[in-house]
């Protein structure tokens, strides 16, 4: 068994938002270059590509929204009609491959072929809600992954961690009334998309299943570390997750053009260690992380390399 499964494929370079867009193809090329230079694909089990089925996508998104995505792309629109997400003719196929291949990584982990996984995908997903894409996102990969694990493998409790500098509003919305999914986010505030206040804690049966830690511009590991090491770790002792999913947005790294946090590569490794410790304590090491933001191209690639290296060591 290889410790870590890796999803890395040039197909994710085919979603092209256009010149000058921060969620650029260059992001993926930089990640691929650094990981291949370090022989990381050889150190990991390969996650096979597959498209998500309509029924899998509809586990978290409405049929009307899926139809909107299809019609927008077939009509040649260069932006999703629900929000600030650029499109090209291949965006639907690439987004579907991103979601579906992440589900393939869940299969590998639950069937015992790997302990954990990192999925380098684009476009990102955590801003997409049930009926709306926005913030560069089309489908909410991590939400679909949680539902898939529950339906296929009988998982009772999923913990989703989002360390992107932007709040994962779509993920929060989808699970806001759900007692089986715990959503934890550290993010810059005030900042896009304007959600994620500390008093947003869930609703109905899901009350208490959302934990937001909004932090001011300039925050770094001094502020973020205790949220993970103390608050979240203690909370997970009560929740006892069967699976940990990570929205790994590296725009919380120092020097990112779309955020003002100051995390370093070494500190992302520390956060990864904390989450791996939780995974080992509660769910036999089952942790799957997936790429979200990160727009300083070289910094993104460097942070991803450190994160993946730590997963392999687990």
pLDDT tens for each residue of 119-144: 999 999 999 999 999 999 999 999 99
Q: How sure is the predictor about 247, in pLDDT bands with cuts at 50, 70 and 90?
A: very high
pLDDT of residue 83: 87
For 175-200, give one letter per residue: b (16+ CB within 10 A) or e.
bbebebbbbbbbbbbebbbebbeeeb
3-state secondary structure at position 283:
coil
Q: How sure is the predictor about 225, in pLDDT bands with cuts at 50, 70 and 90?
A: very high
Q: How sure is the predictor about 2, in pLDDT bands with cuts at 50, 70 and 90?
A: confident
CA-angle at 276, arms to 303 and 308, nearest 5°: 30
Mean pLDDT along residues 83-104: 98
Side by side, the strands of the sheet bearing 114-119 are: 45-46, 2-7, 114-119, 287-291, 243-248, 158-162, 181-188, 210-215
pLDDT tens for each residue of 256-272: 999 999 999 999 999 99
Which CATH fold topology does 2-313 show? 3.40.800
Q: Is the pLDDT of residue 173 over 80?
A: yes
Contact, 220 vs 229, CB < 8 A? no
pLDDT of residue 16: 97
What does DSSP say about strands 243-248 and 158-162: parallel, antiparallel, or unpaired?
Answer: parallel
Which residues, in sequence order, are CB contacts of 31 under 8 Å at separation 6+? 8, 120, 291, 300, 301, 304
Distance, CA of 106 to chain centre: 14
Mean pLDDT along residues 194-212: 99
Which residues, in sequence order, are CB contacts of 216 under 8 Å at separation 6+? 188, 189
Mean pLDDT along residues 224-252: 99
- Mark whether 127 is an active-site residue: yes
pLDDT of residue 27: 99
Q: Is the pLDDT of residue 275 over 90?
A: yes
Instruction: State the average pLDDT for the chain.
Output: 98
Contact, 175 vs 260, CB < 8 A? no
pLDDT tens for each residue of 97-120: 999 999 999 999 999 999 999 999
Contact, 85 vs 136, CB < 8 A? yes
3-state secondary structure at position 114:
strand
- Which one-letter DSSP state was computed for residue 161? E
Q: What is the pTM of this model?
A: 0.98
Contact, 139 vs 57, CB < 8 A? yes
Active-site choice (126, 127, 167, 307): 127
- For residues 12 and 124, give the distance between their C-alpha atoms in angstroms, rounded to a whole number: 11
41: closest CA among 1, 13, 4?
4
Q: Is the pLDDT of residue 38 over 80?
A: yes
Contact, 307 vs 272, CB < 8 A? yes
Domain ranges of the chain: 2-313
């Amino acid at each position: 068994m290889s410790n870590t499964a890796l999803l890395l494929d040039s197909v994710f370079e085919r979603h092209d938002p256009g010149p000058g867009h921060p969620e650029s193809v260059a992001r993926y090329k930089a990640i691929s270059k650094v990981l291949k230079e370090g022989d990381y694909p050889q150190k990991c089990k390969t996650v096979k590509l597959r498209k998500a089925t309509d029924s899998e996508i509809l586990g978290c998104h409405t049929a009307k929204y899926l139809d909107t995505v299809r019609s927008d792309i077939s009509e040649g629109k260069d932006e999703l009609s629900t929000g600030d997400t650029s499109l090209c003719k291949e965006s639907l196929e690439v987004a579907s491959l991103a979601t579906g291949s992440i589900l393939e990584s869940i299969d590998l982990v639950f069937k015992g072929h790997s302990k954990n996984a990192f999925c380098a995908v684009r476009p990102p997903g955590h801003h997409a809600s049930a009926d709306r894409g926005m913030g560069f996102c089309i489908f909410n990969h991590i939400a679909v992954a949680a539902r898939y694990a529950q339906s296929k493998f009988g998982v009772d409790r999923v913990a989703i961690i989002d360390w992107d500098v932007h709040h994962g509003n779509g993920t929060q919305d989808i699970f806001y009334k759900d007692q089986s999914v715990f959503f934890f986010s550290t993010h810059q505030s005030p900042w896009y998309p304007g959600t994620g206040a500390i008093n947003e804690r869930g609703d109905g049966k899901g009350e208490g299943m959302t934990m937001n830690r909004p932090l001011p511009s300039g925050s770094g590991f001094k502020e973020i570390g205790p949220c993970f090491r103390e608050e979240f770790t203690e909370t997970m002792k009560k929740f006892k997750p069967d699976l940990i999913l990570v929205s790994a947005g590296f725009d919380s790294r120092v020097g990112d053009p779309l955020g003002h946090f100051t995390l370093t590569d070494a500190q992302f490794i520390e956060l990864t260690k904390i989450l791996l410790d939780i995974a080992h304590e509660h769910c036999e090491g089952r942790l799957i992380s997936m790429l979200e933001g990160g727009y300083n191209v070289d910094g993104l690639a460097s942070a991803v390399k450190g994160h993946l290296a730590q997963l392999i060591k687990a």
